[in-house]
Structure 1
Amino acid sequence: MYYSKGIFCFLITVFSLGFSVPANAEKTTIAVAANFTAAAKELAEVFTAKTDHEVALSFGSTGKLFTQIIYGAPFDVFLAADSERPKRAEQEGLTVKGTRFTYAQGQIVLWSRGPSHLDPKGSALQQVRLLQSKSTTRLAIANPKTAPYGRAALEALTKLGVYDDIKSKIVQGENIAQTYQFAYTGNAELAVVSLSQITLNKDGAHWVVPLELYAPLDQQVVLLKKGAENKAAIAFISFLKSNEAAVIIREFGYTLNQE
């Protein structure tokens, strides 16, 4: 059989990713942690262009998405911002065995969009003094009970020894996306957000919170039982393991499990 050079190259690319173009394209519905919004949108766009499968993304805090899954929400895939909820989903018998893995590792930053004394190269002590100063009246963090990035923020503030001093200044976003909006709109002078949210944003200044101040943010994905027979869901899980997906994930400020 003869293939044109263009078609041959396309076939090589498809098979090198570990999945093939389906005879009949399907649609998959994916629950995505809010911090991964921008990266997920780009991944879905590239995935659809290569496979013709459709992807519907539903964003929210990991805790709220997990609760929805427990109560039967029609998700095929769960991209969490932690490893805890995917493990719990596994324990509850809601997942396809052997499909859980870490697709990205996140980091938190202290960020200010507007005029600020925040020094990106400053010491931890300098950031503590900034948080305690009168110029900081509100600090936005995500809800620690439902958002892993909020839990990391709380843990870091506690280890810095500043939480008790500033807890009256803290305002909580429902998820990390809303937390970012608080600072973006000026409703908070500072926010603890994910590095991925400001990686492609030139506004403001940020200080990368040292990794030793909070537990690793291993973000895991799992195929849910509702997606066990869904070709699009299975193909998307495979795509997440590809080199092409890894490049996109890194572009948005994440590291990978092996790094």
Structure 2
Amino acid sequence: MRLLSTRLTVVPVLLGLLSATLFSSAVQAADVMVAVASNFSRPMQKIAADFEKDSGHKVLLAFGSSGKFLAQIENGAPFDVFLSADQAKPRRLEGNGFAVAGSRFTYAQGRLALWSATAGDDVQAQLKAGSFSKLALANPRLAPYGQAATEVLEALQLSTATRNKQVMGENISQTWQFVATGNAGLGFVALSQIMQDGVLTSGSAWLIPAALYAPIRQDAVLLKKGSDNPAASALLQYLQQPGVKALIAGFGYAQDTAP
């Protein structure tokens, strides 16, 4: 499995050929700079490449924790679009005038999984028995998936029993890395990191029941810097196309547009 960078540097995606299937050829090609929650890295790289081919626009992606992106945007970071791992941060940006009012929508609902890099493991039993070296989870103060993980441990009455074995990643990509490299035996990760086309890509996993944590509704929003950028508006429209929604679902996300 390819390891995604968690650095917040902007990574350019290759520019494709202009297609008139969804966008008018009269629209001039432009660049759009997108801050993307790290759990959405894999689907967004595919979406960006397809969008470039269909539109002629160029996408510049940065991946990291939603909490750090929020702080950067409020301090003038030059992003046009923000794809958060929750709803609270885009709402805050709208309320404080950093985002275009009315542009926010839920593009996916995240799902949490407990994962081992070893095939054939009964990870649920290992968690309950404490038979693992370290338990990785994202920092709940920065990452909604980390908050969800703490809710699961509380619901299972395992917070105290696992506390001395917990290791925290800055974001969900670093959490996945802890498990993938063997530095943690188990980890709470986004299902999208270990699933593609509806199939587990490696290791063993327990899909955490949705009743054990609050819904992880992930919102996209148009930032004020991108308000006059045709590429930014086009990308947000593109994310709502049925084919793109199907692609997102293939990475393990639920489609939920609740407010």
Report what 1:189 is aligned to.
185
Alignment of 1:131-210 (within 5 A): 131-133=127-129, 135-200=131-196, 201-210=200-209
The AA in structure 1 aligned to 2:102 is: G
CA contact (8 A) 2:140 2:147 kept: yes
Alignment of 1:19-34 (within 5 A): 19-34=23-38
Identity between Structure 1 and Structure 2 (%): 45
* Cα shift at 1:91: 1.0
Q: TM-score, normalised by structure 2?
A: 0.87
Report what 2:227 is aligned to.
228
**Matches of 1:81 and 1:255, distance apart in 2:** 13
**Matches of 1:151 and 1:211, distance apart in 2:** 14
Structure 1 unaligned residues grouped into runs of 5+: 1-9, 120-126
Instruction: Please state if 1:48 is matched with 2:52.
Output: yes
CA contact (8 A) 1:79 1:222 kept: yes
Instruction: Please state if 1:82 is matched with 2:86.
Output: yes
The AA in structure 2 aligned to 1:237 is: L
The AA in structure 1 aligned to 2:231 is: A
**Matches of 2:159 and 2:26, distance apart in 1:** 52
CA contact (8 A) 1:139 1:169 kept: yes
Report what 1:4 is aligned to.
none
The AA in structure 2 aligned to 1:35 is: N
Structure 2 unaligned residues grouped into runs of 5+: 1-18
Q: TM-score, normalised by structure 1?
A: 0.87
Counterpart secondary structure, 1:48: helix
The AA in structure 1 aligned to 2:212 is: L
Aligned length: 237
What is the aligned counterpart of 2:71 among 45, 50, 67? 67
**Matches of 1:21 and 1:43, distance apart in 2:** 20
Report what 2:254 is aligned to.
255
**Matches of 1:111 and 1:169, distance apart in 2:** 15
The AA in structure 1 aligned to 2:38 is: A
**Matches of 2:252 and 2:113, distance apart in 1:** 11
The AA in structure 2 aligned to 1:77 is: V
**Matches of 1:134 and 1:258, distance apart in 2:** 37
